[in-house]
Amino acid sequence: MSGNSLLINVLSAGQDAVCNRFHAAHAIQAYYKNDVVINHGVESLLVMWPSHLLTQSLIATVKNLVNTPKNSILKTGTNWKLPIYYNRAAADLLEVAQQLGMPVERVITLHKAAVYDVACMGFLPGFPYLSGLPAQLNIARKAIPAIKVAAGAVAIAAAMCGIYPQESPGGWYVLGNCAIPLFDKERARPFLLKTMDSLSFYEIDLVTFKQLTQEAKTLNLNNFKHG
Amino acid sequence: MARCTLIDAGFFTSIQDKGRLRARDYGVPHSGAMDLHSAAQANTILGNAANTPVLEMTMIGGTFMFSEPTRIAITGALCEVAHGQEKQLTPCVLHIKTGDVVSMSAAKEGNFMYLAISGGFQAASYLDSASYFPGLVDTASMNKGSFLLYQPVNATRTTISFDTPNFKGSLKAYRGAEFYLLNRQQQEQLLSKSFTVSKNWNRMAFQLVEPIVNDLNPMPSSPVIPGTVQLTPSGKLIVLMRDAQTTGGYPRVLQLTEESINELSQRTVGMAVDFVIG
């Protein structure tokens, strides 16, 4: 689809913005079906449409849909529980504890107690920007990005959490490693997560982590859903 | 199936089509030919569908040997093409006989060259596109001695005219989502100043040399698309291109038109870039 695009900034900030944005995206997609492509940002939406739709009327319609009262119950995505291994001796985890002035154990407790929303996807194919990081864990990005962050690394920075789907350079602090591949081309569901999913982490030990990693290609993803 | 053997692969050579749009919300970049206009033109001239995979070469063209008759078209950056005793400049259409060798020079003007073949190259596709992107379509990275498969056709001679890329002139843009956060002076600077293509350019982005004053805060990650002009904390402008990430945290001050993205892709280091609204 070649054509036009429109960026919409959802005006309120924080969790309200996430909720408003999910509602707005639902309303726009329901109205236009497959005619438009919607991309999510943390507090904004991108709507792309083919050139056969008239720009002026589309903008007016989209604005109306965004401002429609949010009284419907929103159908959200999948609720995941993902296994994470925290290496208590890892340099990034020690650095985070030191900068935030709390013991490593406290960092881990806070991190795994939280429930995260996939606010949007970006950076790399399959990389989720997770909102819901406890305020106590807010830390600035590294001044100098690491050259190599491992696939599966669960990292935090700038009030968000993220999971690296593939090895890559990265400027976030790694707290642990997720044993479920976020992206696998061969899998029936190549991308594990999508915008509007939610997730929490449960801690596993190194032996379990290694075992799951070995079985990564054959894991039943349904075992990592809540409820 | 016929073979096109890469005697010399050229530089940063990859298979490209129009890219993947519908996986963007999983964080999958657009990809696709940097100069979509030239790539589409090469296909159109051969009667191929516009989205047929073509070879994209960067600054240096390749040398190819064909095992069966076909027709090829070479477009994009200006370069010299040697085919037997014949030498000509791009854009051109060549009628290939069994065993013919076609050799391309370095680009004389522009960055990206496109080689299309009748019926298209056989190429692995993922998420509706054969465009190379690490981890998605890896097989498209080209080396000396590797080969591509194509369906041979009997070439008939035709005369066709086509245009060359526009290497000069202002780039048309729309005001970006954060344009209005700039003050009057910054807005005027952005639209009146002449910028220069820096040596930092690739398929992800073209960075411009001259900074403008920037006092805007970074923002939460927001969608960006090819042609989005970002203003970085240091005041440098970065124009996102085909392989750019799908989200970015810098203010989006302008959005290039599709045509202007194609034009910018062919601007070489040190060339002037200026923006006009509309």
pLDDT tens figures, A40-53: 888 888 888 887 88
CA–CA gap between residue B31 and residue B226 (Å, rounded): 9
Q: Is residue A159 part of a domain?
A: yes
Nearest of B101, B16, B96, B25 to residue B62 by alpha carbon: B101
Q: Is residue B158 part of a domain?
A: no
Nearest of B231, B243, B223 to residue A119 by alpha carbon: B223
On whether both B10 and B140 belong to a single domain, the answer is yes
Tokens of A54: 């008239």
pLDDT digits (tens, 9 = 90+) for B205-231: 999 999 998 888 878 888 999 999 999
| A46: closest chain B residue by CA | B223
- The minimum CA-CA distance between A118 and chain B, rounded to whole Å, is 11
Question: Quick check: B139 contacting A, CB < 8 Å?
Answer: no
Q: Identify which of B18, B133, B220 has the shortest CB distance to residue A41.
A: B220
CATH number at residue B98: 2.60.120
Q: Is residue B162 part of a domain?
A: no
On whether both A190 and A96 belong to a single domain, the answer is yes
On whether both B145 and B185 belong to a single domain, the answer is no
Q: Which of A46, A127, A164, A182 is the mutation pick for testing B, counting most B CBs within 10 A? A: A46
In sequence order, the 6+-apart residues with CB closer than 8 A to the CB of B77 are B59, B90, B107, B108, B109, B110, B111, B112, B113, B165, B266
pLDDT score for A72 = 62
Domain end (from B150, B184, B200) = B150
The answer to whether the CB atoms of B222 and A42 lie below 8 A apart is yes
On whether both A161 and A220 belong to a single domain, the answer is yes
On whether both B8 and B142 belong to a single domain, the answer is yes
For chain A, the domain total comes to 2
On whether both A31 and A88 belong to a single domain, the answer is no
Q: Is residue B136 part of a domain?
A: yes
On whether both A61 and A125 belong to a single domain, the answer is no
Number of other CB atoms surrounding residue B143 within 10 Å: 8
Domain end (from A12, A32, A67) = A67
The band of A20, judged by pLDDT with boundaries at 50, 70 and 90, is confident
On whether both A208 and A108 belong to a single domain, the answer is yes
On whether both A7 and A109 belong to a single domain, the answer is no
Q: Provide, for chain B, the percentages of residues in helix, strand and coil under a 3-state DSSP scheme, each rounded to the nearest 5.
A: 10, 35, 50
On whether both A92 and A194 belong to a single domain, the answer is yes
Domain that holds residue B260: 171-277
Question: Quick check: B217 contacting A, CB < 8 Å?
Answer: no
The answer to whether the CB atoms of B177 and A1 lie below 8 A apart is no
Q: Is residue A72 part of a domain?
A: no
Tokens of A66: 């965004």
Domain end (from A26, A45, A67) = A67
pLDDT digits (tens, 9 = 90+) for A156-213: 998 999 999 999 999 999 999 999 999 999 898 999 999 989 999 999 999 999 999 9
Question: Quick check: B242 contacting A, CB < 8 Å?
Answer: no
Domain end (from B96, B117, B150) = B150
The answer to whether the CB atoms of B247 and A123 lie below 8 A apart is yes
Name B108's bridge partners: none
Question: Quick check: B255 contacting A, CB < 8 Å?
Answer: yes
CATH number at residue A147: 2.40.100.10
On whether both A145 and A180 belong to a single domain, the answer is yes
Determine what percent of chain B is predicted with pLDDT higher than 70. 96
Domain that holds residue A36: 3-67
On whether both B255 and B132 belong to a single domain, the answer is no
Q: Is residue A126 part of a domain?
A: yes
Q: Is residue A73 part of a domain?
A: no
Name A23's bridge partners: none
The band of A14, judged by pLDDT with boundaries at 50, 70 and 90, is low
pLDDT digits (tens, 9 = 90+) for B56-75: 999 999 999 999 999 999 99
pLDDT digits (tens, 9 = 90+) for B84-102: 999 999 999 999 999 999 9
Cβ contacts of A122 on chain B, cutoff 8 Å: 27, 221, 223, 245-248
On whether both A130 and A188 belong to a single domain, the answer is yes
On whether both B106 and B180 belong to a single domain, the answer is no
Q: Identify which of B26, B29, B247 has the shortest CB distance to residue A41.
A: B247
pLDDT score for A2 = 45
Tokens of A196: 């509007």
Tokens of A100: 């935030």
Tell me which residues of chain B, numbers 161 to 200, contact chain A at a CB-CB cutoff of 8 Å.
176-177
Domain end (from B84, B115, B150) = B150
On whether both A52 and A108 belong to a single domain, the answer is no
Angle, helices B258-265/B36-45, rounded to nearest 10 degrees: 90
On whether both B116 and B21 belong to a single domain, the answer is yes
For chain B, the domain total comes to 2
Q: Is residue B160 part of a domain?
A: no
Tell me which residues of chain B, numbers 79 to 118, contact chain A at a CB-CB cutoff of 8 Å.
none
CATH number at residue B201: 2.40.100.10
On whether both A83 and A51 belong to a single domain, the answer is no
On whether both B134 and B86 belong to a single domain, the answer is yes
pLDDT digits (tens, 9 = 90+) for A105-119: 999 999 999 999 999
The answer to whether the CB atoms of B26 and A45 lie below 8 A apart is no
Does residue A8 carry a pLDDT above 90? no
Q: Is residue B164 part of a domain?
A: no
| Residue bearing the bigger pLDDT, A19 or A157 | A157
The answer to whether the CB atoms of B223 and A42 lie below 8 A apart is no
CATH number at residue A26: 3.30.1360.40
- The minimum CA-CA distance between A89 and chain B, rounded to whole Å, is 31
| ipTM for the predicted complex | 0.84
The answer to whether the CB atoms of A124 and B27 lie below 8 A apart is yes
pTM of the prediction?
Answer: 0.91
On whether both A220 and A112 belong to a single domain, the answer is yes
Cβ contacts of A5 on chain B, cutoff 8 Å: 225, 255
In sequence order, the 6+-apart residues with CB closer than 8 A to the CB of A42 are A17, A18, A119, A120, A129, A131, A160, B220, B221, B222
The band of A16, judged by pLDDT with boundaries at 50, 70 and 90, is low
